[in-house]
């Protein structure tokens, strides 16, 4: 049975040239068994008419906040309560701004405030409008509030510009609605490590590395969105904590190991994205060391390897690591995969432009314990997180099937 069967989807259509594509979305959802109520904004009606949507969904199309077809019900509250998902496709820059501040000046924005359903948003607009800091800020606000975004694709836009802004294709939008209806990681308990560690030298100095934590935070954020119960153990970073995750802040590698071991019993999957300092000063100077003329030699001792420690007591868990390399990427990653008893490793060439530390993008290769490999193109860390979590879902499914077969 399709996940859409019997589900109630509110489809908000706003005033973008891509509004006509919403007819295809409404049609596919209806064919898949969903009950689709279409809400058109005033501007959307300049591009498409209610007749199309009424014919496709075989249901009345909603426009006016003050339409009350049934005397005993306040229409928008009733619709908002019944909805399983509110899908807004296409979403203009204007609707994103209104949703971000919580305006309720028409039926769609009122529904968005009145519903507790999962919200899926597929924007479509001119590239400059999409990339405008105001729009990007609104996207971030809505994501933090739990909205699931289907980012616009790149291509030739109606205005003649080429760039990001095209409404994503129907299958991609439908798969996001599917994720909202049946979160793939629901019930999965995930531990993510992120950020650098700091190893104190004295009261004001430490040993560390330039990790920003962006990769691990993107994984945690995306996993929450996909329904996982996430514990994020993080070294010091400047990032906002991902909404919905339990965050444990640590400083040193030893503290990170202790925090991981504390939750390890209740965890199904570990993704270790932290850039852990491999060494720490043997002695920590008390107070601040004053400068002098003589040399200062700091003796370093090895830190515990957190992931290896977890791998030694792996049980039935899925363990995923990262490999930060500057040479012999795949050979070194393969070695770590075996040595740390992992199911999957993400090989990351940190010497390349736009990858690894601090960047918003990453170019990685996934290596499975089974020997499979997949090289991903340069993409945002969020997209890397999505690919990685898809791989985790597949591993969980395979592990479940093996367990079922041997039971
Ligand atoms: N890792 C860890 N604890 C450490 C070092 C690394 O948990 N003390 C984890 C990282 O989070 C990552 C993986 O192990 O998932 C590989 O980390 P990386 O820094 O690439 O490799 P190292 O094991 O430190 O080996 P090397 O520095 O020699 O490349």
Q: In the chain, what are the domain boundaries? A: 8-181, 189-281+294-406
Q: Rounded to the nearest whole angstrom, what is the distance from the C-alpha of residue 27 to the centroid of ligand 1?
A: 49
* Residue 382 to residue 394: CA distance in whole angstroms: 19
Q: Rounded to the nearest whole angstrom, what is the distance from the C-alpha of residue 305 to the centroid of ligand 1?
A: 7
- For 189-281+294-406, CATH number? 3.40.50.10300
State the maximum Cα–Cα separation within the chain, in Å, rounded to a whole number: 88
Render the burial of 324-350: b for 16+ CB within 10 Å, e for the rest: bbeeebbebbbebbeebbbbbbbbbbb
Same fold, 8-181 and 189-281+294-406: yes
Other beta carbons within 10 Å of 308: 15
* Residue 143 to residue 132: CA distance in whole angstroms: 17
* Residue 269 to residue 316: CA distance in whole angstroms: 9
By CB neighbour count within 10 A (0-12 exposed, 13-18 middle, 19+ buried), where does 367 fall? Answer: buried
Cβ pair 381, 362 in contact under 8 A: yes
Closest ligand 1 atom, residue 346 Cα: 15
C-alpha 384, offset from chain centre: 9
Strand order in the sheet with 229-234: 246-249, 229-234, 189-194, 269-272, 318-325, 344-349, 364-368, 373-375
Cβ pair 338, 370 in contact under 8 A: no
Nearest to 78 by CA among 91, 96, 60: 60
- pTM assigned to the model: 0.85
Ordered per-residue pLDDT tens for the chain, 407 residues: 789 999 999 999 999 999 999 999 999 999 999 999 999 999 999 999 999 999 999 999 998 877 766 666 777 888 999 999 999 999 999 999 999 999 999 999 999 999 999 999 999 999 999 999 999 999 989 988 889 999 999 888 888 888 889 999 999 999 999 999 999 999 999 999 999 999 999 999 999 999 999 999 999 999 998 999 999 999 999 998 888 899 999 999 999 999 999 999 999 999 999 999 999 999 999 999 999 999 999 999 999 999 999 999 999 999 999 999 999 999 999 999 999 999 999 999 888 777 767 788 889 999 999 999 999 999 889 889 999 999 999 999 999 888 888 77
* Residue 56 to residue 336: CA distance in whole angstroms: 54
159 is catalytic: yes
Catalytic residue among 77, 113, 159, 162: 159
Nearest to 199 by CA among 121, 316, 282, 117: 282
Closest ligand 1 atom, residue 309 Cα: 7
Q: Rounded to the nearest whole angstrom, what is the distance from the C-alpha of residue 323 to the centroid of ligand 1?
A: 7
Which residue reads 């009950």 in tokens?
35
Question: Candidates 216, 305, 357: which one to mutate for ligand 1, based on the most atoms within 8 Å of Cβ?
Answer: 305
Q: Rounded to the nearest whole angstrom, what is the distance from the C-alpha of residue 306 to the centroid of ligand 1?
A: 8
Q: Residues with beta carbon inside 6 Å of ligand 1?
A: 193, 253, 272, 274, 276, 278, 303, 305-307, 321-324, 336
* Residue 233 to residue 253: CA distance in whole angstroms: 11
pLDDT at 73: 73
Question: Candidates 307, 318, 388: which one to mutate for ligand 1, based on the most atoms within 8 Å of Cβ?
Answer: 307
Class for domain 8-181, per CATH? alpha beta
Closest ligand 1 atom, residue 345 Cα: 15
């Amino acid at each position: 049975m399709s996940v859409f069967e019997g589900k109630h989807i509110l489809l908000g259509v706003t005033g973008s040239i891509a509004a006509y594509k919403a007819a295809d979305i409404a049609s596919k959802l209806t064919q898949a068994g969903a009950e689709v109520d279409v809400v058109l904004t005033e501007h959307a009606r300049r591009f498409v008419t209610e007749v199309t949507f009424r014919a496709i969904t075989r249901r009345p199309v909603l426009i006016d906040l003050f339409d009350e077809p049934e005397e005993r019900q306040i229409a928008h509250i009733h619709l908002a309560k019944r909805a399983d998902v509110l899908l807004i496709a296409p979403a203009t820059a204007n609707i994103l701004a209104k949703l971000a501040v919580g305006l309720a000046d028409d039926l769609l924005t009122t529904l968005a405030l009145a519903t507790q359903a999962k919200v899926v948003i597929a924007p479509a607009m001119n590239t400059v409008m999409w990339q405008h800091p105001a729009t990007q800020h609104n996207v971030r606000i809505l994501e933090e509030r739990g909205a699931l975004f289907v980012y616009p694709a790149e291509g030739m836009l109606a205005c003649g510009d080429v760039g990001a802004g095209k409404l994503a294709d129907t299958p991609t939008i439908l798969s996001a609605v599917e994720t909202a209806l049946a979160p793939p990681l629901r019930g999965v308990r995930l531990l993510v490590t992120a950020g650098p560690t700091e190893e104190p030298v004295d009261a004001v100095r430490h040993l560390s590395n330039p990790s920003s934590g962006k990769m691990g935070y993107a994984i945690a954020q995306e996993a929450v969105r996909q329904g996982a119960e996430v514990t994020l153990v993080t070294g010091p970073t400047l990032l906002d904590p991902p909404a919905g995750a339990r965050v444990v802040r640590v400083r040193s590698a030893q503290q990170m190991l202790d925090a991981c071991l504390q939750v390890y019993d209740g965890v199904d999957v570990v993704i270790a994205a932290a850039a852990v300092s491999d060494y720490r000063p043997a002695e920590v100077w008390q107070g601040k060391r004053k400068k002098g003329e003589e040399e200062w030699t700091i003796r370093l001792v090895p830190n515990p390897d957190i992931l290896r420690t977890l791998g030694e007591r792996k049980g039935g868990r899925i363990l995923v690591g990262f490999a930060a390399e500057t040479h012999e990427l795949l050979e070194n990653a393969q070695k770590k995969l075996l040595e740390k008893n992992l199911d999957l490793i993400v090989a990351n060439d940190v010497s390349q432009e736009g990858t690894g530390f601090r960047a918003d993008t990453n170019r990685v290769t996934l290596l499975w314990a089974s020997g499979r490999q997949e090289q991903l193109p340069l993409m945002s860390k969020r997209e890397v997180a999505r690919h990685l979590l898809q791989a985790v879902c597949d591993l969980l499914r395979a592990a479940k099937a093996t367990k079922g077969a041997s039971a």
